[in-house]
Amino acid sequence: MADVLPLVEARLHSSLGEPDARAAVTFLGTDRIEVLRFPAAGQEGDVVRYATLGMSAQPMADPTAVLADPVKGPRAELVLSVRAGVADTDKVLRPLAVLAASPQVEGVIVAPGASLDVGEPLWLGAPFTSVLVAEPGGLVEDLELDAPLDPVRFLPLLPMTPNEAAWKRVHGAPALQERWLNHGTDLRDPSRRSVPLD
């Protein structure tokens, strides 16, 4: 079976440009997870992007399955976009690696609409401790792999304040996204306040 990570990295480069930094984290009993930093460039010159590399090496397994299928199953990487120069967002590298390792560590399937919580600020002074997983396909197109492998999906992450995360648990992801949209929330602002929830 061909290693998918070189293909994934090539897709990230073709979509986001050349990374200017990368960090690797290895958790006990898991494969190495890298996080690549793509500098602000092009039309969105003030947005820096962070993408994981390594989460898609193995398919995500149904936590209720007795045996994990080594071939079939959803594959994904995570992408976070934030405005540059507002906060020291480079500290997000380790929390992103933790989230990318969660399918291996906790046996979860990361999919659009899910909440992922790191239990601490995403970076120093960040008002966010969790993210909402958004629909893929906008920024980085799915990477088709040879059958029987599932395609790799590049899932955008939207930082949530603790109040937004609690509200989302009650009302659901679509309702929170609609509220963000109605209030013109800049989801890339690393220091934004919670959207009004009353």
198 residues of the chain, pLDDT tens digit each:
458 999 999 999 999 999 999 988 887 777 889 999 998 765 556 899 999 999 999 899 876 666 666 778 899 999 999 998 888 888 899 999 999 998 888 888 899 999 999 999 999 999 999 999 999 988 899 999 998 889 999 999 999 999 999 999 999 999 999 999 999 999 999 999 999 988
Residue 84 has a pLDDT of: 87
Tokens 């190495």 found at: 32
pLDDT at 45 (0 to 100): 62
CA pair distance 171, 158, nearest whole angstrom: 17
pLDDT (0 to 100) of residue 1:
42
Calculate the alpha carbon distances from 110 to 53, 78, 151 in Å.
15, 10, 14
pTM here is: 0.92
Tokens of 57: 């090496």
Give per-residue burial for 105-125: e unless 16+ CB within 10 Å, then b.
eeeeebeeeebbebeeebbee
